[in-house]
Structure 1
Amino acid sequence: MRTFKLLLISFLSVYFCNAQKIKPEEVKDVMKKVADWQMDHINDSYSNKKPHHPLHWTNAALYVGMAKWAEMADDDTYYNWLKGIGDQNNWQLHERKYHADDHAVGRMYAALYRKYNQKKMLKPTKEQFNFLIHHPAKTKLNWATPYHQDRWNWCDALFMSPPVWADLYNITGEQKYLDFMFEEYKATTEFLFDEEENLYYRDERFKGKLDNGTKIFWGRGNGWVYAGLTDILSNLKPQTKEYEYFLDIYKKMSKKLLEIQTPKGHWAMSLLGHEFYPTPETSGSSFFIYGLTWGINNGILKGRNYKKAVINGWNAMTGYVHENGMLGYVQPIGAAPGNASPDKTEVYGTGAFLSAGSEIYKMAKDN
């Protein structure tokens, strides 16, 4: 009887592993379908009544994922598309000099610089960031203070700007970019990170508030942070004080994300309030899958539970891709848990999905 039980357990383990296997070619197929649909619909209105500006943060988040897909794709269509956007906008950042959202397109410029090594691609970003180093914002992080968003006082900002600083540090080797980013990131974390839950408040307004008796940690907001952490770590040298600092936050968040993933594979729009927000949301969830899978691929997150989480998550995300390639269940622009539906999409959701797929593909190839 004992032998039979052991054989049964062994059989079920093998069956589970095979059932959970993801095929690399299927990952590429769905990524291409989603990328192509988004390129064809880049001028749709989505959350707003008019299309987003090409340098708007929404599109910048798309470009981050699109650049990862371009590196995997079998032709230069996607690189050429991204390069065209840079050329048409003279490789400038968006309008506001200090605002993190308007720095985000610098991520795409850095990715293209790494491929083409053309100085013009990074020159305006370097000039603007050099100015910020010498003329740093002196505002407080409190939400009600004047010019408060001249610093990173909302958690989304940790995706939009810090990874660009990390890119510049990695590309140029100039410590000043890392030093500036590190100090500002620490200030934001001390202000918005909940040490009990290992999650970030969206901004000061949510600290101390409850929603149906639970603390309010916005799903996509923490997705922004987590994906940003992943990209910062990718740019740093292990064993440095900066790497260890970001790695500590990353590991704490990773453990928490494993605990609060929903049975369906996604993460709730209010991370601790799944029963009150049962609707899937694909932008935040895709960012979590991206970051978790990166950790697996880099030997940081170990154990079967992490792999099971990302496989379940990825299978859930692909289930929300329409036949035509549109990714559904993307929460519109917001700052708090809200609503999502099968017919709602946004460019940043596509960017998050493509980022997730880039790491899922690597994992699937290695298995």
Structure 2
Amino acid sequence: MKKSLLLVLLLFVVFGLNAKSKEYDLKHWPNGKSPIEIGTRIAEKFLKTAHSKYGNTHPATPPTQITYPDVCTWLGGMWFAEVTQNDALFNRFEGRFTPLFDGEANLLPKPNHVDNNVFGSVPLELYLKTKQQKYLDLGLKYADTQWTLPEDAKSEQKDFASQGYSWQTRIWIDDMFMITAVQAQAYRATGDLKYIDRAAKEMVLYLDKIQLANGLFYHSPDAHFSWGRGNGWMAVGMAEILRILPNDNPNRNRIMEGYHKMMAALLKYQETDGMWRQIIDDPEAWKETSGTAMFTYAMITGVKNGWLDQKTYGTAARNGWLALTNYINANDELTEVCEGTNIQNDRNHYMQRKRIVGDLHGQAPLLWCATALLR
């Protein structure tokens, strides 16, 4: 009788611990919700879809250039192909790119804006895989021109450049992916510290200027609302820099401090179903998927790298991922994605943004999350 009782107690403890551990488990998933399944669906969807117009995959008129939401999805697709060791899938992403050297060369963006220069991230990723010089040359063109002051630069741009920052600096939180991503990619491709040093210095500028006491960020100094996806760009930008920034970089501790402060704030505002809102700290705002995906990615990356407590943030990341999978429709499109959003110091501007289906602003970070979960 005593042995039977001990066995029951032992089983209770074991199963109790297993049930508890599932709350922050980032490896095991219900059927249909695993990162390999979701990532494959979203990657295939992108490859079967024409170039978008700032994320809109069904524009009224064809795009005149490759825009940054495509870049982010393209990059995520290649990351996913690499982490799953699927060379055939990677080759299809490369095949989508090669026409840009000839028949579609008119779609290459001009290197004159943060949203355009991030394009260089894609050829640099292709170079890392293939070692083809043409990809390196094209990617570095976008990384280098981001720090090459044009002749017609405005006074504010000259001021930033004179202090060692990109002339494309705007102090919009979106920039902290657009600027840092291409510089980080250039560092990965060349090993030249100047690129990652630039990215880190730029990130600290933004942290010092616009991170709020509560850990979140306004969209800009002129728009006093903590817009979800805008904060998402910042969260992902910090996670990506920290993933590759050398330990002896003088700005690493400052970026890690800002990252921890933001993650703690996001934890506070995550809804019980795993989602975050269009305006993060506004309980009347609608639940939005692209920002949720970006925050989830930043937390997955933090847990995987040991920067964040596994139980606390692993639970938040798992809840975020599971919530997002509920917003994917039968056409492999993420729903409830905020449309492209400009700066306005008006709550209604953010509250009344259109909720788009299948917009690449949402498809991209969903791929990033799938990749991060498999790393």
Q: Does the 8 Å contact 1:268/1:280 carry over to 2? A: yes
2:134 aligned with 1:97? no
Equivalent position of 2:162 in the other structure: none
Q: Hey, what does 1:107 align to over in structure 2?
A: 121
Structure 2 distance, partners of 1:78, 1:281, is 29
Q: CA deviation at 1:42?
A: 3.3
1:178 Cα offset (Å) = 3.2
SS in 1 for 2:156: coil
1:1-367 to structure 2, matched below 5 A, reads 12-18=16-22, 21=25, 22-23=27-28, 26-43=34-51, 45-46=56-57, 48-52=59-63, 55-73=66-84, 75-90=86-101, 94-135=108-149, 139-140=155-156, 150-194=168-212, 196-207=213-224, 216-273=225-282, 275-277=283-285, 279-335=286-342, 337-338=350-351, 344-362=357-375
Deviation at 1:327, TM superposition (A): 1.5
Offset of 1:203 from its aligned partner? 1.6
Q: How big is the shift at 1:351? A: 0.9
Distance 2:144 2:85 in 1: 37
Amino acid at match of 1:140: E
Distance 1:132-1:157 versus aligned 2 partners, 3 A rule: closer
CA distance in structure 2 between the aligned counterparts of 1:112 and 1:14, rounded to whole angstroms? 41
- Partner Cα separation in structure 2 for residue 55 and residue 283 of structure 1: 20
Aligned mates of 2:86, 2:184 — CA distance in 1:
28
In 1, Cα distance between equivalents of 2:260 and 2:132? 36
- 1:110-165: CA deviation from partner (whole Å, max 9, x where unpaired): 22111111121021332344344353766438xxxxxx983232111111121211
Partner Cα distance (1:6, 1:239) in 2? 47
2:57, 2:358 within 8 Å by CA — same for their partners in 1?
yes
| Contact 1:52–1:58 under 8 Å retained in 2 | no
Alpha-carbon separation, structure 1, partners of 2:358 and 2:235:
21
Tell me how many residue pairs correspond in the alignment.
Answer: 343
Q: What is the deviation of 1:167? A: 2.0
Provide the rounded CA distance (Å) in 2 between the counterparts of 1:139 and 1:166. Answer: 27
Change (3 A) 1:230 1:341: same
Per-residue CA shift, 1:34-68, capped at 9, x if unaligned?
A: 22123223356448433545621111111121112
| Matched letter for residue 255 of structure 2 | F
For the residues of structure 1 that align with 2:216 and 2:108, how far apart are their CA atoms? 29
Question: Residues 163-211 of structure 1, C-alpha deviation per residue, up to 9 Å, x if partnerless?
Answer: 21122123323233234334433333333222x121222122214xxxx
TM-score, with structure 1 as normaliser: 0.82
Q: 1:132 to 1:312 in 2, by over 3 A?
A: closer
Contact 2:81 2:89 in 1 (8 A): yes
1:152 touches 1:158 (CA, 8 Å); kept in 2? no
Give the Cα–Cα distance (whole angstroms) in 1 for the partners of residues 271 and 77 of structure 2.
27
* CA deviation after TM superposition for structure 1 residue 18, in Å: 4.1
| Percent of matched pairs sharing the same residue | 24
Tell me if structure 2 keeps the 8 A contact 1:193–1:200.
yes
Cα distance in structure 1, aligned partners of 2:354 and 2:373: 25
Distance in 2 (alpha carbons) for counterparts of 1:167 and 1:229 = 14
CA distance in 2, matches of 1:290, 1:68: 13
User: 8 Å contact 2:74–2:122 — kept in the other structure?
Assistant: yes
Paired residues of 1:266 and 1:313 also in contact (CA < 8 A):
yes
- Measured in 2, the distance between the counterparts of 1:179 and 1:248 equals 17
Once superposed, what is the RMSD of the aligned Cα atoms?
3.2
| Closer, same or farther: CA 303–69 of 1 in aligned 2, 3 Å | closer
Structure 1 unaligned segments of length 5 or more: list them: 142-147, 208-215, 363-367
